[in-house]
Structure 1
């Protein structure tokens, strides 16, 4: 099996022309890369792939003088250039290297190559996730994967950047990643793109051995940290970002694989999903039903479509996918274990953080999802008060005590349903009526302190007074609002402290963890009330939550959520007005979590309108359910893509409404809500 390292090189760089033949430490940059490549264990041959343009004659001449094979092909279609070179060398495995990485480490590359061979997959790299310094990039893939990409890729960015087509299709091409064992190195920049990079490298190589490893480079920089400032301002993968920015809309690859996988899944899984809101019930037909991976604020489906993710796992992904701090915490804990026979100190460390941040928290217990936390709060309230009835407002999970009060109450005994009463948000008289109808029977009033609208002035405080006047506890369901509106939750934002509160979703950046917390005297009931689970102290989620909360305290995470969500809301309102749809589309709620409100139109039901809108958003590269669930990783390009998608989708809705036949022409059945709570 022949493994060939192919180094892509050209002289027509716009930011630093001729960079790969510039002198560095007395020899051309390209020589550094070739020398490193030739030392990679398992590589049979090293070749250069440059363009057939006259600009690159100098590269071909250098290669000939150095005794290195050089293959020439298209300038911009680098994918085809690689394929031609690999065919000419009869490669079975290709390692992709770039000529602007003079500090390439042969040992790291050798590990990537070994990972590909031993995994039996189609692709391996040290670039996903980006845990290594920028400048140590290497990718290895099979010739079969390269040939598939060369034959099928049509997007300009895929042709220019060689491996994107393969990387985006993880369901089709099995992949492995070599993660850096040292934390925090993803912010290091050791590559050559701009004059500042050259200045940095020139200053650095004076202190390096002839063939440095990445540890040699790191040691030199740690001894001279001021060197890092020379090129610190430059953005990683800026060239790829610019390629994507040229695309007005992403290419839609369809949902053929998703559709086939859904049919397979539904043979063994009801609805083919573990969650109603992630199932076919909530998405238009021919929508993506299965995702393969996420990075930052984006996700990819099994058909290779990429999306800006405005669902974010139904709100848990608050920092973004593959957040380096959270992932490092998980990996470090994984080295120690996952679930143990006794408690770990992680439980105390996280509980102490929550007590410090959240006004009502004097004592804390953990669960795995929001339903665990809300149900624990209700059981505690019943034990503490000796009463059975509860008043609810909002969505509180799937347990009998709550779901029995909704239209999804199948399977819940009538006797249990009768113990729960609902009251209207911002309507104090509605809550008063429940207490009046059941005097001395209410254990708790549980509510989302905010969802689509703000609480009226004094409303939350008056509800607390009402509950206490009748001997009931006030419980805030902050599964959504916690760690999204404020580090201390909505109770801090609105200045009203409940007796108990449930938190979840954002507190673990996607890991399954929730918490019930509150007054010490109420929480003391936990010593007798049986609320106990094998995985309540599962250590990976605890470590992730600690890392998430610490990052939120250290960086302007929640400020960014407010800014991003607010900007989107402002621009969406402008787009709705532009398309004459302000009376149909609006966003309600607060900036970190704004809910889509769609109204009936004279010529179509709101459900049909929303279905068409969601379908068009998906095809424009935005995964959208019913709200803007922004995360810290959503950047300017993501926001621009979301707004472009809104523009396209609103235009389509306006066009179809103008025909007077939107519902008739809708290419799929209208999506209906699971049930209405807000």
Structure 2
């Protein structure tokens, strides 16, 4: 197996022209990179791949003068340039390096080479996720993978940046990543793209000990730890700005279909009812042809098994509040993984997280943990019944799948009639209906459990009036904050609206995707946990606890909630402006609070709501956005992400207006209309 390091370099850099041959610490930048590449363990040869443009004649001449093979090709189609070099060198394994990384560590690159070989991968890197300093980037892949990418990649950014096709198609190309040993290294910038980078690198190299071999990342780190002010030189430069610029210019990539998703769905349905573990993630909630299987997420985007990329406005059904692969949460999980996942006794993490919840949630005096929202709501109801000695409950909103709640909905199959009769539904905002239920069952109602807000803004004083009514009848008030918690405010809707319930359930965003929930509330009520039975093997599972602690700490130190409000308001305003542009203001609007805006489709003389929503979702999905019925934003969503969303909405609203004008929208639908599982809000 012949392993070749191909160094991608050119002189016509937009941000720093001529950088490859700039004198850095006494020799050209490219010389630093070549020396590091040649020192990578397991390498057979290091070559340079530059362009065939006159601007790179000097770079080619340097290579010739120093005995470094140089292959020249297209300036724009860098993927083709790599393939040309790989074929010329008869390479079996390719190491992709870039000429703007003069501090490249041969040991780090060698670790990526070793990982690929040991695991027999198609692609290995230290950038997915990025945990190393910007400037130590290394990707290793097989010649077969490169050939496939060169033959099939058709997006401009895939041709310019060589490996996105491989990274995006994880169902097809087996891949893994070398993770940095220290947290926070990804924030370091050791690359060369701008003048400030050159100033930084010159200062670092001047402080490194003189030796014949390339410096290790640990030596560079030691210099920066001794001289932390050096980091300020180029701290403000954004990582991967060139890649982001290419994506921005691309607008909407062509959708590659969902062929593999369809095949996997057929396979899954043979062994899994609906082919999914969750109703809202199954094919019955998406238009036919939509992606049914994802491979990975990064920031505010996800990729499906067919290699399509989407801005994700589902966010795992709201748990992903910080973004996929959030570095702080992932680091907390990795650190805890070294200590164990589910231990035989409790860990201090349980107390640490409980203390944080008591600090930030107004009603929390004591805490118990579960794994999902239904655990927390059901525990709250059992506590209320035990504390009051009553059996009946009133529900207002959606509260999970357990018998006590779901038995009162149309999805009550399998729930005994005696159980169904104990739960009564109350409409949100209707105090008279609430009073009537209490009067119809005097002294029998243990609690009212309600979402303090979903689509409808509570009228002034409404939540306090609800609390007064509930307490006047000797019952408990339970807020279901599974959605509103860690989204409306760090302490939930109760903190936002200033009304404190007796008990509350939290979940979803609490762990940024890790399975964890909590029932919190008055200590005297939570004391009943010693008498009722609410106990599960995984209640103290440590990875989720560590993740939740990291979520809370990040939300306290960074403007997470503020950004959700800001982006949510901007996206909702622009969405309604686009609906107006296409004459659809009477059909589509946004309701709810900015951090969780919900689409409200209104009946139209020519089409059912379900048909309109299906058509809209169909075209949004094909234009690069994964959407259910709401804006489930996360902290990692960027302005560029919102741009993709709004362009998709513009297209989808246009198609919706066109089809409504025909008067035959439903019969012209490209797929069957998606019907709701059952109506909650």
Structures share a fold, TM > 0.5? Answer: yes
Q: Does 1:607 align with 2:572?
A: no
The answer to which of 395-404 and 60-69 deviates more is 60-69
Q: Partner of 1:585 in structure 2?
A: 588
Structure 1 residue 139: Cα displacement: 0.1
| 1:589-627 deviation per Cα after TM superposition (whole angstroms, max 9, x unaligned) | 000001111112111111000000001111110100000
- Structure 1, unaligned runs of 5 or more: none
Paired with 1:312 and 1:251, the residues of 2 have a C-alpha distance of 23
Q: Partner of 2:132 in structure 1?
A: 132
Q: Partner of 2:162 in structure 1?
A: 162
| 1:14-72 deviation per Cα after TM superposition (whole angstroms, max 9, x unaligned) | 11111011000000000000000000001111111111111111111111111111111
SS of 1:590 mapped into structure 2:
coil
Q: Partner of 1:434 in structure 2?
A: 437
Q: Does 1:57 align with 2:57?
A: yes
SS of 1:95 mapped into structure 2:
strand
Q: Does 1:484 align with 2:487?
A: yes
SS of 1:553 mapped into structure 2:
helix
| 1:647-669 deviation per Cα after TM superposition (whole angstroms, max 9, x unaligned) | 11101101111111111110100
Q: Does 1:674 align with 2:677?
A: yes
Paired with 2:459 and 2:8, the residues of 1 have a C-alpha distance of 62
Aligned partner of 2:291 among 285, 288, 292? 288
The answer to which of 23-32 and 47-56 deviates more is 47-56
Equivalent pairs counted in the alignment come to 678
Q: TM-score, length-normalised on structure 1?
A: 1.00
| 1:88-140 deviation per Cα after TM superposition (whole angstroms, max 9, x unaligned) | 11111100000000000000000000000011110000011111000000000
Q: Does 1:123 align with 2:126?
A: no
SS of 2:250 mapped into structure 1:
coil
Structure 1 residue 642: Cα displacement: 0.9
Q: Partner of 2:370 in structure 1?
A: 367
Q: Partner of 1:174 in structure 2?
A: 174
Structure 1 residue 227: Cα displacement: 1.1
SS of 1:176 mapped into structure 2:
strand
SS of 1:300 mapped into structure 2:
strand
Structure 1 residue 299: Cα displacement: 0.5
Structure 1 residue 503: Cα displacement: 0.3
Paired with 2:63 and 2:107, the residues of 1 have a C-alpha distance of 24
Q: Does 1:266 align with 2:269?
A: yes
Aligned partner of 2:238 among 231, 235, 239? 235
Paired with 2:187 and 2:518, the residues of 1 have a C-alpha distance of 33
Q: Does 1:405 align with 2:403?
A: no
Q: Does 1:34 align with 2:34?
A: yes
Q: Does 1:82 align with 2:82?
A: yes
Paired with 1:183 and 1:492, the residues of 2 have a C-alpha distance of 33
Q: Does 1:108 align with 2:111?
A: no
Q: Partner of 1:415 in structure 2?
A: 418
Paired with 1:155 and 1:41, the residues of 2 have a C-alpha distance of 34
Equivalent runs, 1:183-332 vs 2, <5 Å: 183-209=183-209, 210=211, 211-332=214-335
Paired with 2:248 and 2:661, the residues of 1 have a C-alpha distance of 32
Q: Partner of 2:336 in structure 1?
A: 333
Q: Does 1:18 align with 2:18?
A: yes
CA RMSD of aligned residues (A): 0.6
Paired with 1:22 and 1:73, the residues of 2 have a C-alpha distance of 22
Q: Does 1:624 align with 2:640?
A: no
Q: Does 1:555 align with 2:558?
A: yes
Q: Does 1:456 align with 2:459?
A: yes
SS of 2:207 mapped into structure 1:
coil
SS of 2:179 mapped into structure 1:
coil
Paired with 2:382 and 2:388, the residues of 1 have a C-alpha distance of 10
SS of 1:96 mapped into structure 2:
strand
Q: Does 1:346 align with 2:357?
A: no
| 1:283-330 deviation per Cα after TM superposition (whole angstroms, max 9, x unaligned) | 000000000000000000000000110000000000000000000000
Q: Does 1:497 align with 2:500?
A: yes
Q: Partner of 1:633 in structure 2?
A: 636
Structure 1 residue 492: Cα displacement: 1.0
Q: Does 1:530 align with 2:549?
A: no
SS of 2:592 mapped into structure 1:
strand
Q: TM-score, length-normalised on structure 2?
A: 0.99
Structure 1 residue 248: Cα displacement: 2.0
Q: Partner of 1:2 in structure 2?
A: 2
| 1:157-186 deviation per Cα after TM superposition (whole angstroms, max 9, x unaligned) | 000000000000000001000010100011
Paired with 2:528 and 2:680, the residues of 1 have a C-alpha distance of 30
SS of 2:15 mapped into structure 1:
coil
SS of 1:206 mapped into structure 2:
helix
Paired with 1:521 and 1:228, the residues of 2 have a C-alpha distance of 52
Structure 1 residue 483: Cα displacement: 0.6
Structure 1 residue 467: Cα displacement: 1.0
Q: Partner of 1:447 in structure 2?
A: 450
| 1:501-555 deviation per Cα after TM superposition (whole angstroms, max 9, x unaligned) | 0000011000000000111111100001000000000000000000000000000
Paired with 2:497 and 2:132, the residues of 1 have a C-alpha distance of 43
Structure 1 residue 225: Cα displacement: 1.1
The answer to which of 653-662 and 25-34 deviates more is 653-662
Equivalent runs, 1:378-389 vs 2, <5 Å: 378-389=381-392
Paired with 1:19 and 1:600, the residues of 2 have a C-alpha distance of 60
Paired with 1:117 and 1:658, the residues of 2 have a C-alpha distance of 59
Paired with 2:227 and 2:251, the residues of 1 have a C-alpha distance of 44
Paired with 2:597 and 2:253, the residues of 1 have a C-alpha distance of 25
| 1:624-645 deviation per Cα after TM superposition (whole angstroms, max 9, x unaligned) | 0000001000011011111111
Paired with 1:248 and 1:558, the residues of 2 have a C-alpha distance of 28
Q: Does 1:517 align with 2:520?
A: yes
Structure 1 residue 188: Cα displacement: 0.6
